[in-house]
Structure 1
Amino acid sequence: MSQNQTRRDAETDLLNRSKTTPPKRYGVYLLNDDYTTMDFVVEVLTGIFMLPEERAVAVMLLVHHEGKGLCGVYTRDIADTKQQQVLQRARQEGHPLQCIVEEV
């Protein structure tokens, strides 16, 4: 085997190893309940997910009518952090609001 062939094989191996797949993405969803106020849901969406007011109202209505609404799509660590922020804030304010993370 020639030295050029060996060099090309090594370069090909290096290129193949350097190609990484993008991280999986996870959706953070709010779930509807009969007790959490719509205003509080909008506050969560604007405060934690940084949604503009109009978008937050649209997501809140989706949660209210469909039972579940997508708040945002993130990497796993960020999605888990957002979920914990929602659950902590809901507990502090006395709301039973639930938030889940699902792979999208």
Structure 2
Amino acid sequence: MNDAVTKPKTRTKTKVERPKLHKVILINDDYTPREFVTMILKAEFRMTEDQAYKVMITAHKLGACVVAVFTRDVAETKATRATDAGRAKGYPLLFTTEPEE
């Protein structure tokens, strides 16, 4: 008779942490035309006309509005590109990023 003891195999499963997300925030200013802000939101954040208008109006009324949430690299890239597009036209348009809670 075989007296061998069989031992169950154990596997170590590595847990991958999800990347932290960052919010892209539109900061209101009194100089950038609403139509231009809407155009930037549509172009950079792929919003519909209606979505872009709602975000723009919310920022206008409240002073700031969360546009979208992305991983840090994507959020910073989109915020920079959108801000630079405003600067290229001479507007003080500003998008910032901050970590999501």
DSSP 3-state at the match of 1:26? strand
User: 1:60 is matched with which residue: 50, 56, 68?
Assistant: 56
Over 4 Å off, 4+ runs:
none
The CA deviation string for residues 30-61 of structure 1, in whole angstroms up to 9 with x for no partner, is 10111011011101100000011101000000
User: 1:20 is matched with which residue: 5, 16, 21?
Assistant: 16
Between the aligned partners of 2:96 and 2:42, the Cα distance in structure 1 is: 18
TM-score (norm 1): 0.86
| Matching residue's letter, 2:65 | G
User: 2:7 is matched with which residue: 1, 4, 8?
Assistant: 4
The number of residues matched between the two structures is: 96
Q: Are 1:41 and 2:40 matched, yes or no?
A: no
Max Rg structure:
2
Between the aligned partners of 1:4 and 1:93, the Cα distance in structure 2 is: 70
Structure 2: give runs of 5+ residues left out of the alignment: none
Deviation at 1:4, TM superposition (A): 2.5
TM-score (norm 2): 0.88
Structure 1: give runs of 5+ residues left out of the alignment: none
Instruction: Tell me: CA distance 1:97–1:22, structure 2 relative to 1, closer, same or farther (3 Å).
Output: same
Instruction: State the percentage of identical aligned residues.
Output: 33
User: 1:88 is matched with which residue: 79, 84, 88?
Assistant: 84
DSSP 3-state at the match of 1:54? helix
- Normalized per residue, the structure richer in helix is 1
Superposition CA RMSD, Å: 1.4
Which residue of structure 2 aligns with residue 71 of structure 1?
Answer: 67
